Amino acid sequence: MTISIKIIVDLRRALSDDRALRRLHAKENDELQAHMEREVARTFIQIMPALAVIAIFAGALVSLESMAAAAATLVFLSVALLVVKLSYKIRLQGEIGDDVE
């Protein structure tokens, strides 16, 4: 984290005003929450292939139908993930386009 004049001014204002301090804590908490959510999502995406293999093999041990159900569920989740990623990319490109204009 780099220290800027804006951060110093915000901290100084927060130390002199209780409401500003609560706002600063809420903002930092929101940023931390967003960071943690991104890390959890990134970790889940990284371990998803291993979880897929385990789910399919566990389904195969039970029956052919459960293996097919596990595979179908994984395909559905993968497609849903691609749709979410695509929607975020489109939204981000829209925001970047708005900033340029």
Domain ranges of the chain: 5-100
Pull the structure tokens for residue 14: 């927060």
Q: Nearest 10 degrees: CA dihedral of 31, 36, 38, 44? A: -170
Distance, in Å, from the CA atom of 14 to the CA atom of 20, rounded to the nearest integer, reads 5
pLDDT higher than 80, residue 96: no
pTM score over 0.75: no
Per residue in 24-67, pLDDT (tens digit) is 888 888 888 888 888 888 888 888 888 888 888 888 899 999 88
Residue 97 confidence (pLDDT): 67
Does position 82 have pLDDT exceeding 60, yes or no?
A: yes
How many degrees, rounded to 5, is the angle at CA 37 between CA 72 and CA 84? 40
Q: Please tell me the predicted confidence (pLDDT) of residue 101.
A: 55
Higher model confidence: residue 100 or residue 2? 2
